[in-house]
Each structure stands twice: as structure tokens, then as C-alpha cells.
Amino acid sequence: MAVTTASLTITSSDLVGDALSLTTTNTLKKANKIEGLDQTTGMNVAYLTSVASIDLFPALVEGSLAFTGKSSWVYICNKSTDETEFALITIGGINIGRLYGGDYLWMPWSMKESANADNHHGDIELKPSVATGMFFDWICINEGTEHHAVDLAIS
Amino acid sequence: MASTSATITLASADMLSDSLSFTTTAALTTAGTATGLSNTSGLARKTTVSTDQYTLYLADEYTADAANKIYLKNTESTATLFFTVTIDDEPMGRLYAGDWAFFPWSATNGTKAAFSVTFAATWADGDTAVFDGVTITLGATETTAAMTDLVVAAKYPNFTVVETSASVATFTAKDSNDLSLIEEGTTSDDYVITTGGNGTGTVARTVAPVASANDIKITPSTTASHTLEHMLFHE
């Protein structure tokens, strides 16, 4: 069983009157279990030169029984050093937020079919703000990976 | 300007043949600048005792398309107690015991409903105007201008009101998720006017509401006590 930990530290000496120093660590486990997550897409490094939205995890079959109630975690980082360049991250067509240069996110992912009754099926999509080239990293750590069958028709 | 940093470390010695270990630090800045975010909700905790859906942050209350950041943590230790985090009605994922998340938030605003009431003729002693739980009762004969002043001076729980002309008051909902359409006309069932004389108040819709699709909501998995820690950094 794999042991993977995710830690976060948020610090600020001047955001509020008292110093902010928040640290938290958790071990990534399968849903309702003490077993660690044991599957991953691996770290993707991409240089995107279009402002078109892309599906970050097309190899995973969203909304399938294999993922019902499962635990999945997503990390995305905008590696741009230009603070004005951002990427809009959406889930199922709904805006999550903008990752500006240097920003990252760490979020759970249900992969449920979209509640909006469209065809997004909980997809996580990334849309760069410029077409001049931006680097991104992303990884999904999960359980129950189910890959597309060959030539699977996706609605 | 405040200086705030958020550092994530992901590590695993045995998930892959090679060890996984990386650290990323982000300075929390306003959109497109090097200026630090200077506003926060503060670190807070919410304990739930039902499986109802709770709204943590209303998008209408924050700047849209800014570099807002949200921190969430399920502080429970019982593995089966989780929160489902949704952005409006779109499920993002589940926070099981001890899990935390840190992500940007667009806070995309909705459109708040608005309508106007045009007052005319003469208002008599005892006439009333009732809206949003507030009743205005005249103690003397009033002109339309005076009636408008009285309506604008009142405090409404779910609407703000301004005087747009001497005889017109315009109401705007405080929350875009209030999708009720106020009935229009001189005999609106929503803005109820009762007069003994010839005073009238004509209701006209000026803005139709559109709900925000970006509120941050949580749904506990059981009715047992669940506690979520949360913090918003915003512009």
C-alpha cells in the first residue's frame, strides 16, 4: 500500500493583526478506508500555445461506476512567471477559478456526471489566457482508474 | 500590502518506482499583479449536524474573476465522515476525514433582481405599502414625493432601495439567488398597496435575476457532528 502525503503551509506576518501560520498534512487514502491511494496519472508537464480549453484527464472515464464514491485528488500549477498570465480552471463547465502565474490548486475530484445535464461529466478543463506559450504541471492521484476502451464513443 | 505564501508538498516513497516529492510555493497576490492579497474571511470552523447543504461563501459578496483562494479542511478523524464540496450545484469532490483543499475561486457573480415602484396621486392618512415584511403606514396625507421618501427611508431585509426620481423608488435584491420575480402592475401581489384615497404605486421590473453559479457549498455525509475548517483570501 502506497503512502502519499499532502502538506500545506500558509504563512503571513501582516495579513491580520496576529501572525498567520497554518500547517496541515494528510495521507491520501481510499474512500472510507485506511489504505493509501495507489494510482496516478503521473506528473504531466505541458507547454500550451493555444487559448483553447483542454480536458486534463481524458484517460479517465468520468461518471462511471468505477468512480462512484471514490477518492481522487488533483494538483494543477501554472508555471508561468508572468503574473498577468492565467488559466481558467472549470469543472463540468462551471468556473472554479483562475490560476495566475505561480499559482496552484489542490482539490478533491468526484468525477461525477455534471449536475447541469450537459456532456461535461465532471471534466476538469484548463483554458490558458494567452497563446504565446505557458507551462503547466498537473497530476491526478486516485483509486479505481478505468481507461477508455478503444474507439469508445463519449457523449 | 500583505505578504502571504502558501506552500504545498506532495511526497510518496512507494507509489512509484521513483520517489514522488515536490514542493510549490505561491505568493497570494491580486489578479495580474505582484501586490499581495489584503483581505481574508479569517480562519473559521463550521460544525454541521444535518445532511442539509450549507453555503460557505456567496459569490455575490466578492470580486468576480479575481485571484481569490479558498482553504478547506475536514477536521474529523472518523473515516466515514466526509463533506461533498460543490460549486453551486456542480460537485467538485469529497473531503474525507483529515483531507484539505486549496484552490482558486472565480466568485462569478449572478444578476440581482431589480424593480421600480412609481408613486402617483395623493396618499391619505392610513394608507399602507407592504413589501419584504416591511409595512409603511401613513400618519397623514402625503404627496408622492413624500411617499417615495418614506419608502426609501425604510430598511428591507432582502432588498436595497434608492430614490431614482421624486416619485420613483428602485429596489435591488441583495442576493442574486433570490429568483422570485416581483409581480408587475398597480395591483402587484408582491408589493401591496392599500389606499383609502387615489394614491397608486405601479411596479415595473427593471432587471430579471440570474442566479450565481459559483457559490461554495458543502454537504455533510451524515447527521453526526461534522466540523469543517475554512478560510478565504480575497480581493
Q: Do B105 and B16 have their domain in common?
A: yes
Same domain as B156, residue B99: no
Domain around B226: 5-109+213-234
pLDDT of residue A33: 84
Residue A65, pLDDT > 60, answer no
Does A106 contact chain B (CB < 8 Å)? yes
Q: Do A99 and A129 touch, CB atoms closer than 8 A?
A: no
In Å, how far is B65's CA from the nearest CA of chain A? 7
Q: Does domain A39-142 have CATH number 2.60.120?
A: yes
Interchain proximity B90–A91, CB inside 8 Å: yes
**Torsion angle (degrees, nearest 10) of CA B52, B53, B58, B59:** -170
- Residue B104 and residue A14: Cβ atoms within 8 Å? no
**Each residue of A81-125: pLDDT tens digit?**
999 999 999 988 889 999 999 999 999 998 776 665 555 567 899
* B9 & B99 share domain: yes
Same domain, B173 and B58: no
ipTM of this model? 0.91
For A10-62, how does the pLDDT look when each residue is reduced to its tens digit (9 = 90+)? Answer: 999 999 988 899 999 999 999 888 899 998 989 999 999 999 999 998 766 66
Q: Which residue of B has its CA nearest to A13?
A: B3
Out of B20, B100, B213, whose CB is closest to A94? B213
Contact assessment for residue B70 and residue B228, using Cβ atoms and an 8 Å cutoff: no
Could you give the 3-state DSSP secondary structure of residue B138? coil
φ, ψ at B148 (rounded to 5°)? -60, -40
- Residue A42 to residue B212: CA distance in whole angstroms: 35
Q: What is the per-residue pLDDT across B151-177, written as a single tens digit (0 to 9) for each?
A: 999 999 999 999 999 999 999 999 898
Query: If we measure between CA atoms, which residue out of B107, B94, B123, B73 comes closest to residue B227?
Result: B73
Provide the residue ranges of all domains of chain A, joining segments of one domain with +.
39-142
> Cell 450545484 belongs to which residue?
B89
Give the gap in angstroms from C-alpha B48 to the nearest C-alpha of chain A.
Answer: 19
Q: Are residues B105 and B118 in the same domain?
A: no
Whether B188 and B159 share a structural domain: yes
Q: What is the pLDDT of residue B213?
A: 79
Count of CB pairs separated by less than 8 Å, A with B: 198
- Flag whether residue B33 sits within 8 Å of chain A, measured between CB atoms: yes
Residue found by looking up cell 387615489 in the block: B198
When pLDDT is cut at 50, 70 and 90, the band that residue A132 belongs to is very high
Q: Which of A31, A36, A94 sits opposite B90 (nearest CB)?
A: A94
pLDDT one digit per residue (tens) for chain B, 235 residues: 799 999 999 999 998 988 999 999 999 999 999 999 999 999 999 999 999 999 999 999 999 999 999 999 999 998 889 999 999 778 899 999 999 999 999 999 899 999 999 999 989 999 999 999 999 999 999 999 999 999 999 999 999 999 999 999 999 999 898 888 899 999 999 999 999 888 999 999 999 999 887 999 999 999 999 999 999 999 9
Which amino acid is it at A103? D
Whether residue B225 sits in one domain with residue B132: no
Distance separating alpha carbons of residues B22 and A82, to the nearest angstrom: 22
Closest approach of A60 to chain B, Cα-based (Å)? 15
On whether both B127 and B105 belong to a single domain, the answer is no
Chain A residues lying within 8 Å of B107, measured CB to CB: 97
| CA of B223 vs chain A CAs: smallest distance (Å) | 17
C-alpha cell at A58: 481524458
Shared-domain flag, residues B202 and B223: no
Total domains, chain B:
2
Q: Which residues pair with A73 in a beta bridge?
A: A108, A141
Give the best residue of B10, B73, B228 to mutate against chain A (max A CB count within 10 A).
B10
pLDDT of amino acid A58: 73
B17 to chain A, any CB pair closer than 8 A? The answer is no
Q: Kind of pairing, strands B192-194 and B128-131?
A: antiparallel
Give the pLDDT band (50/70/90) at residue A1: confident
The pLDDT, as a whole number, for residue B180 is 81
Cell numbers linked to B231: 478560510
